[in-house]
């Protein structure tokens, strides 16, 4: 395998989670008697540019199919994050009725609904038909396409360029990084701005967030590596923010090299922070495997002891990260009876690999479990508030990462 950015041959293993099905490949009941494809889930570090990456063992158009089940609008926390971002970006960039905002991987219109409400023209680019249809029902123009340079050229030839291009939590999902970033440059107006959000590799390592590794995430980024990728395509990062979302993310503000944007001190500060942490040396990327194994073993020991003690344990949040944890630990429904999810698009299905049933929240009130494992730990506060009633019968919450916590 070669690095998907710089084409250097890859030899250094960052993490090996064995084999698993794609984390969003939920099963219908009629699929439970059929074979289920598993693919290697192994990350490599490029010794030259330090991009951490998984091989494209399954094509991206199969991973992001018309039956895609992740809809962004079912998290209050994420909706609030999107609305706050839109209000800030509109004010900071002085956007108005003559501007054009494009969001790549716009999902179900969770973010662009706030742009539209301000009377600012907008368009979403979303390859999964299920979520694109939901966005159009909100009155948001949405084009069913994978984004890349070819699409950007075709779009700008007839529609012109965008003043703000938003790419939240999509960069990691792109198998051809160079094509995607080149497309950003094509579709961006001369003085326009790109904002990109993605989980920060520094936090993944520090917080032992190995469950954020799954096949749909092709790449895992440090700031210095992303800066190098953007620079190679004539784009300059002039500001960066550290965000709490997804356990610690970055938001980049980028423009064309010759655009009139002054670089903020935050850029140099974050580069220095990564340098101090050792992220510019290959040794930093060694030794993560034992940390992941320790979390897996601790979580599995808790489930086994709960089973021996006659305690009922269930899960909340049929999230991709939860599927990584459950499949790596070999957990099945005998140890985790069911998983609740707020999205009706997931209810009635079964988790990939573990085949645990996904049900509505009413099951928690009906069965009164002793423990609820919060699988999307990044939404812990929202979920514990929502399910606070489990304390009425002595129920407790569990999170497994960065270490096992019972509360």
Residue-wise pLDDT tens digits, 260-273: 999 999 999 999 99
In tens, the pLDDT along 218-241 reads 999 999 999 999 999 999 999 999
Express as a percent the part of the chain with pLDDT over 90: 87
Residues 153 and 240 in one domain: yes
Residues 228 and 177 in one domain: yes
Please tell me the predicted confidence (pLDDT) of residue 197: 96
Residues 274 and 311 in one domain: no
Please tell me the predicted confidence (pLDDT) of residue 73: 62
Residues 307 and 210 in one domain: no
Residue 294 lies in a domain: no
Express as a percent the part of the chain with pLDDT over 70: 95
The CATH number covering residue 338 comes to 3.40.50.720
Residues 218 and 316 in one domain: no
Give Dmax over CA atoms of the chain in angstroms.
66
Checking if the pLDDT of 175 tops 60, the result is yes
Domain boundary among 285, 312, 342: 285
Please tell me the predicted confidence (pLDDT) of residue 128: 87
Residue 219 lies in a domain: yes
Residue 62 lies in a domain: no
Tally of domains in the chain: 2
Residue 31 lies in a domain: no
In tens, the pLDDT along 324-339 reads 999 999 999 999 999 9
Residues 212 and 264 in one domain: yes
Domain interval for residue 318: 303-406
Domain boundary among 252, 285, 318: 285
Q: Give the Cα separation of 216 and 213 in Å (integer).
A: 8
The CATH number covering residue 248 comes to 3.40.50.150
Checking if the pLDDT of 16 tops 90, the result is yes
- pLDDT (average), residues 244-270: 96
Checking if the pLDDT of 65 tops 60, the result is no
Residues 101 and 243 in one domain: yes
Please tell me the predicted confidence (pLDDT) of residue 247: 87
Residues 129 and 251 in one domain: yes
**CA dist list (Å): 23 to 17, 102, 320, 349, 402:** 13, 27, 5, 13, 20
Residue 34 lies in a domain: no
Residues 125 and 164 in one domain: yes
Residues 241 and 97 in one domain: yes
pTM, to two decimals: 0.90
Residues 340 and 215 in one domain: no
pLDDT category at 55 given cuts 50, 70, 90 is confident
Residue 22 lies in a domain: no
pLDDT category at 208 given cuts 50, 70, 90 is very high
Domain boundary among 259, 285, 311: 285
Residue 396 lies in a domain: yes
Checking if the pLDDT of 56 tops 80, the result is no
Average pLDDT taken over every residue of the chain: 94
Residue 67 lies in a domain: no
pLDDT category at 59 given cuts 50, 70, 90 is low
In tens, the pLDDT along 86-129 reads 999 999 999 999 999 999 999 889 999 999 999 999 999 999 88
Which residue in this structure is represented by tokens 């960065």?
402
Residues 155 and 266 in one domain: yes
């Amino acid at each position: 395998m070669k690095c998907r950015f710089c084409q250097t041959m890859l030899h250094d293993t960052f993490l090996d989670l064995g084999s698993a099905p794609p984390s969003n490949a939920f099963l219908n009941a009629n699929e439970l008697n059929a074979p289920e494809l598993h693919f290697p889930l192994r990350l490599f570090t490029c010794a030259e540019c330090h991009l951490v990456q998984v091989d494209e063992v399954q094509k991206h158009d199969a991973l992001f199919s018309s039956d895609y089940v992740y809809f962004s609008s079912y998290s209050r926390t994420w909706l609030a994050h999107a609305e706050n971002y839109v209000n800030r970006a509109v004010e900071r960039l002085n956007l108005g009725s003559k501007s054009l905002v494009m969001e790549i991987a716009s999902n179900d219109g969770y973010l662009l609904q706030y742009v539209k409400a301000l009377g600012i023209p907008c368009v979403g680019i979303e390859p999964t038909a299920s979520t694109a249809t939901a966005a159009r029902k909100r009155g948001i123009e949405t084009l069913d396409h994978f984004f890349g340079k070819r699409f950007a050229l075709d779009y700008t030839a007839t529609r012109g360029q965008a003043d703000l291009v938003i790419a939240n939590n999509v960069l990691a999902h792109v198998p051809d990084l160079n094509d995607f970033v080149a497309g950003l440059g094509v579709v961006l107006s001369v003085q326009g701005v790109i904002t990109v959000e993605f989980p920060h590799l520094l936090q993944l390592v520090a917080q032992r967030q190995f469950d954020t590794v799954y096949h749909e995430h092709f790449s895992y980024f440090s700031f210095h590596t992303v800066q190098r990728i953007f620079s190679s395509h004539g784009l300059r990062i002039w500001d960066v923010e550290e965000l709490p979302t997804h356990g610690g993310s970055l938001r980049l503000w980028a423009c064309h090299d010759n655009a009139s944007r002054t670089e903020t001190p935050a850029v140099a500060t974050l580069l220095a922070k990564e340098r101090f942490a050792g992220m510019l040396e290959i040794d930093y990327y060694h030794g993560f495997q034992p940390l992941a194994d320790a979390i897996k073993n601790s979580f599995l020991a808790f489930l086994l002891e709960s089973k021996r003690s006659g305690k009922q344990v269930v899960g909340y949040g049929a999230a991709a990260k939860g599927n990584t944890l459950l499949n790596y630990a070999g957990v099945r429904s005998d140890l985790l009876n069911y998983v609740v999810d707020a999205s009706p698009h997931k209810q009635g299905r079964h988790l990939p690999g573990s085949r645990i049933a996904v049900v509505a929240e009413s099951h928690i009130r009906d069965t009164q479990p002793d423990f609820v494992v919060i699988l999307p730990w990044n939404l812990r506060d929202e979920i514990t508030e929502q399910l606070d009633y489990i304390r009425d019968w002595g129920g407790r919450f569990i999170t497994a990462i960065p270490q096992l916590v019972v509360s």
